[in-house]
Amino acid sequence: MDSMRTYTLGEFSRLTGKATSTLQRWDRTGVLTAHRTVTNRRYYTYDQYLSVMGLPPQLETEQDKRIVIYARVSSRNQRDDLANQERFLRQWANARGLIVDEVLTDIGSGMNFKRKNFNRIMYADDISRVIIAHKDRLTRFGY
């Protein structure tokens, strides 16, 4: 499903066939309010595209969301453990009939949040389930 897709002002203009000045005016007058990035740039979502094109919104169901395996070790010396975690979690998911869409791994401390794939999971709206070996693989405190 493409509901998480975003478009810049120019991309959205080309997709919808509307001039960028029209989209800017719509944003100012509240006809179609654009989202803003941290740097105050306009962007639009797929749902807004459907709205402008007069198409019905696509409802996201649980089946449209992904199942993700997340494995983490603290240091590069534990790479073998990382592979073992991944293998074990795949077997566990297969035994329960779960279809895993993606495997994400990190090498880094569980004491901070400076882990690329951990942050991808935390900020993703399209994940229904995260499979981990133990809750301290996600973070050491505050799970």
H or E stretch covering 94: helix 79-95
In tens, the pLDDT along 37-58 reads 889 999 999 889 888 888 887 6
Within a domain: 38: yes
Do 17 and 69 fall into the same domain? no
81 occurs within a structural domain: yes
Q: How many C-beta neighbours within 10 Å does residue 122 have?
A: 13
The predicted structure's pLDDT at residue 59: 59
Average confidence (pLDDT) over 92-102: 86
Can you spell out the DSSP letters for 97-141?
Answer: T----EEEEEES-TTSS--HHHHHHHT-SSEEEEE-SSGGGT-SS
Q: Domain range spanning residue 100?
A: 62-137
Q: CATH number of the domain that 103 lies in?
A: 3.40.50.1390
Residues 11 and 47 in one domain: yes
pTM of the model: 0.51
Q: What is the pLDDT, as a whole number, of residue 134? A: 74
- Domain assignment of residue 111, yes or no: yes
Predicted local distance difference test score (pLDDT) of residue 140: 64
14: in domain: yes
Per-residue tokens: 133: 């070996």
| Active-site annotation, residues | 74
Number of domains in the chain: 2
Stated as kind and residue range, the H or E segment containing 21 is helix 20-29
Pick from 99, 110, 15, 117: which is nearest to 63 by CA?
99
19-27: average pLDDT: 95
